[in-house]
Structure 1
Amino acid sequence: MRAFCEKIITPTDASWRYHKYQMPYLPFSWHYHPEYEICLTLNSKGVRHIGDHIAEYGDYDLVFMGPNLPHTWQSESNSDGSEQIVYVAQVPVNWLDKLVRDHKELQGMMSLLTRSLKGIKFSTACALSAKHLFEKMDEASGAQRFILLLELLTIMLDDTQQHTLSSPMFAFGKQLEKNNGKLNQVIEFIYENYTESLYAEQLAELAHMSTNHFHRYFKQRTEYTLTEFINRLRIGKACKLLISSSSPISVISDQCGFNNVSNFNRRFLAIKGCTPRKFRQQLLNHDLIN
């Protein structure tokens, strides 16, 4: 799953880009770009990928992502045929950073911008307020949209239930320190092969390090051990398959690279807080209720 760099075209009469997407479903499109992005997803449920974070999402999903952080959402069509809506604000880094630095009233937002490098998920209450602001943007002038963007950043900053999603430094491009080129290469290799058997020795060789040094280096920069990191990717894939397919759990276990179902169940429980069977049952119950 190699991420591609998306080229964002800012309108000639604006400093940042606003867009509203209406689609029957959200296709998997693993990408990154050098802009900040605020993304509100409505009337949709599926799997959200941000850096090394992979989890299911539902309606009113509001996320703020920093520059060069790879991401995508993926969903199936709604059973009632209704459209899924995505509001997006893509803001150039230099413009927003300078705006915050140059105005004392905004400098409290610097912490929000820093945390966005790991991706930030906001509460449903915050997402409801964001929906109201995005709807206003749809009919607003350029000056009005600028004011609404500041309002949006303010309600996000004030959300006490916000939490970060990805490991630190999981980004592509010039934001990274030079040595992290090694980490990017290793992580891309893991993303392309995480359902296969992977060994620290082969990854250490790829990074031109000793195995012991590689273990320390990887944990320091991702906050996970290599095994934890790979298992989180595998469980994320399992969640996607549990949501989108009716395959038996034993088949999904094999597809995600686990050597036996018991190990799969243990790892799933440790990461998701429930068994794969219960996870699927919760989704079925949710569908029945709705």
Structure 2
Amino acid sequence: MKNSIPKVAIPDSKVFVIKQLEAPYFDPIFHFHQEYQLFLVLQGEGTRFIGDNMKPFKKGDLVFTGPNLPHVWRSDNCYFDKTNNLKTTGIVIYFHDHFLGEPIHHEEEFENIRHLLQKSVRGLEINGDTNRKVSKMMVELLELKGIKSIIQLLKILDITANSPECHFITHKHYVPINTEAETNRMNKVYEYVMKNFKQKIRLEEVAAIANMTPTSFSRYFKSRVNKSFSDFLKEIRIDYARKLLSEEDMNINQIGYECGFHNISNFNKQFKKVTGDHPFHYRIECLKVQIEVDGNF
């Protein structure tokens, strides 16, 4: 297992770092670091884990995370198969809270940005028009140098700080797991589940991976992820089912089995419990949206 805590991403000679990432898949290791991070997905799909939150991601996903908030954007399993020739692309910005020196902590002009940095410790998902504006500015920032690049970063932070379209990601009472031992443990669990959720997964198997008894693991997992392991596994499977229902031609019975449900009535029941809808109705709504987007009436 490689170190969960990467080396400092920003050299002493720079105020911040911006990179365009291109690889078959995003780094699959659950980790945390001291820097603030703004990450935009340009290409690729999968599931992101931030603190105690889990959510599917796709093109346009834009997230701002504060220091020591564990996170990973794990690409779908198909991206790890070299024969698929798939690719992920993203833009990431790293900076410290002292990138403008002491004034950012005290002066009135930086009050909004200061509050934004404070809120980022729970992670912020950026949506709507703010997402579109900031995404465009991040692409532009790749080409800027010197003082113009710093001004652009300040504009990005100012727009984000003043937007009502930024929403907390982790729960209010989230307990950080900002130690290497804990992130390594959770990374092993996430990796195992994401690789094997289509098959039956026993609690004893996952507890053994975490080097804990089933009872201790159940308590530990719920305290860190804010849900039981069984609910977590169910949501992983339902998220994958939603993806298949919106993109694939498989019938609903096949999709249920493909997602790890070996009883179609149970699949329908659990899908409705998580989404509030029946798989058939969900597929119809996805088709309606796609027709509206394509303009094929």
User: How does the TM-score come out when normalised to structure 2?
Assistant: 0.71
Name 2:155's counterpart in structure 1: 151
2:198 to 163, 173, 195: 195
Name 2:118's counterpart in structure 1: 111
Q: Secondary structure at the match of 1:230?
A: helix
1:38 shift after superposition = 2.4
1:237 shift after superposition = 1.7
Q: Secondary structure at the match of 1:189?
A: helix
Maintained 8 Å contact 1:40/1:88: yes
1:16 shift after superposition = 3.2
Name 1:267's counterpart in structure 2: 270
1:133 to 109, 118, 137: 137
Maintained 8 Å contact 1:16/1:89: no
1:6 shift after superposition = 9.2
1:20 shift after superposition = 5.9
Aligned counterparts of 1:239 and 1:169: Cα–Cα separation in 2: 29
Q: Which amino acid aligns with 2:166?
A: Q
Q: Which amino acid aligns with 1:31?
A: P
Closer, same or farther: CA 56–107 of 1 in aligned 2, 3 Å: closer
User: How do 1:52-131 residues align onto structure 2 when only pairs under 5 Å count?
Assistant: 53-55=54-56, 57=58, 61-65=61-65, 69-72=71-74, 88-92=91-95, 96-99=96-99, 102=102, 103-104=104-105, 105=110, 106-116=113-123, 120-131=124-135
Closer, same or farther: CA 134–268 of 1 in aligned 2, 3 Å: same
Equivalent pairs, count: 266
Name 1:245's counterpart in structure 2: 248
1:193 shift after superposition = 1.8
Aligned counterparts of 1:180 and 1:39: Cα–Cα separation in 2: 20
Closer, same or farther: CA 41–185 of 1 in aligned 2, 3 Å: closer
Maintained 8 Å contact 2:41/2:58: no
User: For residues 151-199 of structure 1, what are the alpha-carbon distances to aligned partners after superposition, in whole Å with 9 as ceiling and x for unaligned?
Assistant: 212322333332344675798xxx4353454333333222222222222
User: For residues 182-222 of structure 1, what are the alpha-carbon distances to aligned partners after superposition, in whole Å with 9 as ceiling and x for unaligned?
Assistant: 33333322222222222223333333333322211110011
Q: Which amino acid aligns with 2:99?
A: L
Aligned counterparts of 1:182 and 1:274: Cα–Cα separation in 2: 34
Provide runs of 4+ in structure 1 moved above 4 Å. 4-14, 32-36, 65-68, 165-171
Aligned counterparts of 2:219 and 2:8: Cα–Cα separation in 1: 36
Name 1:226's counterpart in structure 2: 229
Instruction: Name stretches of at least 5 consecutive residues in structure 2 with no aligned partner.
Output: 77-87
Q: Which amino acid aligns with 2:18?
A: Y
Closer, same or farther: CA 40–207 of 1 in aligned 2, 3 Å: closer
1:251 shift after superposition = 0.7
Q: Secondary structure at the match of 2:193?
A: helix
Instruction: Name stretches of at least 5 consecutive residues in structure 1 with no aligned partner.
Output: 75-84
The answer as to 2:169 corresponding to 1:162 is no
Q: Which amino acid aligns with 1:270?
A: K
1:48 shift after superposition = 4.5
Aligned counterparts of 1:180 and 1:6: Cα–Cα separation in 2: 12
Name 2:259's counterpart in structure 1: 256
Name 1:216's counterpart in structure 2: 219
Closer, same or farther: CA 191–89 of 1 in aligned 2, 3 Å: closer
User: How does the TM-score come out when normalised to structure 1?
Assistant: 0.72
Q: Which amino acid aligns with 1:16?
A: F
Root-mean-square deviation (Å): 3.9
Name 1:285's counterpart in structure 2: 288
